[in-house]
Structure 1
Amino acid sequence: MAVLGGVAYEQIGRYRAARDFPPPGKMVDVGGGRRIQLDCRGAGSPTVVFEAGLSVDGSLSWSAVQPKVAAHARACAYSRAGLMWSDLSNAPPGAAQAVRDLRTALANAGERGPFVLVGQSLGGLYSVGFTRDFGAEVAGLVLVDPSHPEQVELVASFMTETRSMRSRIGVALAPFGVLRAAAPALLQQAPHRTAHEMQAIRAYASKSLRTQLAESDATNASLAEAKAFRDLGDRPLVVLTAMAPFTAAELRGMKITPEQGRQVQAIWKHMHEEMAAWSSRGRHLLVADAGHDIQLDQPQVVVDAVLSVVEAVRKDRR
């Protein structure tokens, strides 16, 4: 009875999620019976394309940034396969799948370059991968506290495995309503995010958390793939680095001391300095009062960085 009740609770939750929180933008057919949620607003070239990090919020990761950018240029945010409204994929998760889906979704939706790619965390490397594969369409980039291809090797002595068995058990029990019931406790209200957005994220959490874990497991493969490409030419590039000290909760999660946290942050800063040099027109900016999710902690900093690259691209094309 408990199992049947859990299954019913989950199915009702999925029905209510679809009814109460329809996808912003549109669902784009990417083949194989799958659709990707793509939300494009505004007008004006170049088109800005946002790529979320290793998170569960999909296109809503950029909700505090996208409207302000859309006031000046075409701005598109999307949810990767299996996140929020987007359909699950049978292909292995990771950079290659993300790049392929994004390119297909943009093309099938009639969105054309030149593009300015904005990627946060692991999404930064996905954006670089898109540039590697479709460089003729990419005019500039903004990397928001991005992952680095060698981050595992560089911080391995400080970090321990954080993908706990408890998380895996929770994902395995998602069809029985466990993750849906736990979503309010697992996913707390974030700065610059509305209550409605948080309700939507929690409503789709049982699906999105499963995808997040799969992407996390594929991280090492995505980092290894990214090592072969570090040449962004002379494209305008801004790399933003979060410099707020790690919180006590973050230190506990990473199982490191405050001193080790400062050392990790110094390594992180150095990695981003190197990434800014991947373009002859790269700039590296430190954001002192923001954590890893700069787009939520200090969205205006991200908006300003994006618009500076948009303006540089426009000047190049005059």
Structure 2
Amino acid sequence: MRTGFGVAAFGAAAFVALAVLAGVVYEQVGRYRAVSDFAPPGQMVDIGGRRIQLDCRGTGSPTVVFESGQSVGGALDWSAVQPQVAAHTRACAYSRAGLMWSDPSTAPSSARQVAQDLHAALTRAGEHGPFVMVGQSIGGPYVVSFTRYFGNEVAGLVLVDPSHPDQVARVASYMVETRSPLWRVLVGLRWFGLLRLAVPRLLPQAPHQSDHDVQAIRAFAPQSFETQLAEGDATDRTLAEAGAFRDLGSRPLVVLTAMAPYTPAELHGMKITPAQGEQVQVLWKQMHDDITGWSSRGTHQLLPNAGHDIQFDDPDAVVNAVLSVVRQVRAATPPASSP
């Protein structure tokens, strides 16, 4: 009897060991194929022992710089917008440290660290201001912080459904903490292939997103998810840091607000009812009204048919907003003198 039990236990342990080994091999092969199958668009810029992926296209001034939200797509989050903007002026999209092709950073996630990384990448790649900074979601506070630290190089901003420094306190009565312990476990077990298996369901294809970009994002997702989780944990600190600077002077500013009703999946994720969702949207609009007032030349546009990822739901609205700021910057910039 004991012998039979021992054989069964040994068999079970051997099966688990083989399954773990298979998962590790599956993940390692996935990481190798991600690098071999999907070359980084643009260039990899060394910022001092780490590389940041930076993709700059087009010619002209000012240079538009795109900052993604708290997603795993990095520079590819702007694939439906950047080419249209690049047809009119220089346009740069990049992936923050630890996202997609960019090397991770050992520094804690913060708005200042993001600004310093981006500025170093732009400088070492030979890109220079004036810049029009474009940020979506948490990318909004990131580009406002960039303006705080490198304001002499920032001529205008476009904030795409941006996070607000006070949003946690403003919506606390409607929403509760939604970070799942199970998600942390899944990210922690990424080396065993479980997360990679789940990626196709976790990252559906967005409108105006190419098959190639979707496959690239999914290929790098297990690494990128770790960074996304760290950025999520630092959200309160990031918002507090960004909230210390709310004066954009007379820089042209456009704030775009997504006003499409929340989907059932979004309501479930936020753990709120449809009625509460409508109340949250009212608060969201009010907070964006406040952000618009940070500049004496701020304008606010409501987009009734777009969700949070406006750059995919209504890319033309983002392009038009960016080009409107570009035109304002050009109109205010004196022409270069002849040699």
TM-score, length basis structure 1:
0.99
Q: Distance in 2 between matches of 1:197 and 1:227?
A: 33
Q: Report 1:46-195 matches (<5 A).
A: 46-195=62-211
- SS in structure 2 opposite 1:14? helix
Aligned to 2:30: 13
Aligned to 2:7: none
Q: Distance in 2 between matches of 1:227 and 1:196?
A: 37
Deviation at 1:52, TM superposition (A): 0.2
241-250 or 174-183: which moved more? 174-183
Aligned to 1:246: 262
Q: Distance in 2 between matches of 1:169 and 1:73?
A: 44
Q: Distance in 1 between matches of 2:43 and 2:195?
A: 27
- SS in structure 1 opposite 2:127? coil
Aligned to 1:212: 228
Matched, 1:264 2:265: no
* Deviations 1:107-156 (CA, angstroms, capped at 9, x unpaired): 01000000000000000000000000000000000000000000000000
Q: Distance in 2 between matches of 1:179 and 1:88?
A: 19
Deviation at 1:269, TM superposition (A): 0.1
Runs of 4 or more, structure 1, over 3 Å off, are none
Give the AA of the match of 1:268: W
Aligned length: 317
Q: Percent identity?
A: 68
Deviation at 1:283, TM superposition (A): 0.2
Give the AA of the match of 2:41: P
Q: Distance in 1 between matches of 2:187 and 2:68?
A: 21
- Alignment RMSD: 0.6
* Deviations 1:222-269 (CA, angstroms, capped at 9, x unpaired): 011112110000000000000000001100000000110000000000
Deviation at 1:73, TM superposition (A): 0.3
Aligned to 1:41: 57
Deviation at 1:97, TM superposition (A): 1.5
Aligned to 2:294: 278
Q: Distance in 2 between matches of 1:226 and 1:62?
A: 23
Deviation at 1:276, TM superposition (A): 0.5
Extract unaligned runs of 5+ from structure 1.
Answer: none
* Deviations 1:93-113 (CA, angstroms, capped at 9, x unpaired): 131211110000000100000
Deviation at 1:176, TM superposition (A): 1.0
